């Protein structure tokens, strides 16, 4: 399952919990998540919102690998 589904189950959230995985937006993902959370809170003022943000790109970064493929994948 996705990270969001795992968190919902592990943290004991209600079955009706909504999730919106936002992936492959780079730095813009944080802004997109905040915008979506804002829209949700406006529509449902009594609701709670949790944003979980994880960055995994740096796990693959190898400073000694100067190949074009590595530079492109790390740069994007």
Burial grade of 64 (CB within 10 A; 0-12, 13-18, 19 or more):
exposed
27 belongs to the catalytic site: yes
Query: Which residue of the set 27, 41, 54, 60 is catalytic?
Result: 27
User: Which residues, other chains included, contact 7 with Cβ-Cβ below 8 Å and sequence gap of 6+?
Assistant: 13, 52
Q: Which residues are catalytic?
A: 27
């Amino acid at each position: 399952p996705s990270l969001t589904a795992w968190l919902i189950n592990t943290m004991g959230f209600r079955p009706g919990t909504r999730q919106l995985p936002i992936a492959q937006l780079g730095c813009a993902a944080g802004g997109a998540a905040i915008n979506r959370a804002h829209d949700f809170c406006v529509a449902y003022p009594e609701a709670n919102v949790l944003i979980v943000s994880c960055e995994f790109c740096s796990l693959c970064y190898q400073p000694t690998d100067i190949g074009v493929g590595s530079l492109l994948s790390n740069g994007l």
